[in-house]
Amino acid sequence: MPAIRVPLHLRWSDVDAYGHVNNGAIVGLLEEARVHAFWRDEDPILPPLTSASDAWVLVADVQVKYRRVIDHRTEPIEAEVSITKCAGASFVIGYRLLVDGEECVTASTTMALVDGAAGRPMRMSPDLRARLLAFAP
């Protein structure tokens, strides 16, 4: 299955004094893309995003590479989201942020599955691993 494509709308508050999308806002856009991709209302792939959930999905690491400036615009930019690695209790989400088809940002987040009650890493089920790997390049 190809990467999940997610349209992202920029907010005026995403822009810094130089007139382009600030690096802190980029991490927020990655979060928005991740939520839209893997917690879709009609078919969520990951456990519920609530503190009462048995399994929590937490960010363990973020890597961002800036390729081109993203200026503020009213049209959405596009995120391509894919799974680049699955391990026992973690997986890596790869991102490409595109403006008019041009790659502006590449990034990854390592996500850890954690037992909500114990606060310890928990292995992902074979079903979850298979669903995530469906989005591997």
- What gap in Å lies between CA 43 and CA 32, rounded to an integer? 17
For all residues of the chain together, what is the average pLDDT? Answer: 94
* Conformational region of residue 47, where left means phi above 0, alpha means psi within -120 to 50, and beta covers everything else: beta
- What gap in Å lies between CA 25 and CA 21, rounded to an integer? 7
pLDDT at 1: 55
Q: What distance lies between CA 105 and its chain's CA centroid?
A: 13
Domain that holds residue 34: 4-133
Beta strands in the chain (DSSP E): 4-8, 55-66, 77-86, 90-99, 102-115
Q: Specify whether the CB–CB gap between 87 and 73 falls below 8 A.
A: no
Instruction: Name, in order, each residue with C-beta under 8 angstroms of 3's C-beta and a sequence gap of 6 or more.
Output: 80, 81, 82, 94, 96, 135, 137
Q: Tens digit of pLDDT for each residue in 86-101?
A: 999 999 999 999 999 9
Please state the domain count of the chain.
1
For residue 91, list its beta bridge partners: 86, 111
Q: Tens digit of pLDDT for each residue in 25-76?
A: 999 999 999 999 999 878 889 988 888 889 999 999 999 999 999 999 999 9
- Helix or strand or coil: residue 87? coil
Q: β-strands 90-99, 55-66: how paired?
A: unpaired
Q: Is the pTM of this model over 0.75?
A: yes
Mean pLDDT of 102-126: 96
Q: What is the CATH number of the domain that holds 121?
A: 3.10.129.10
pLDDT at 2: 76
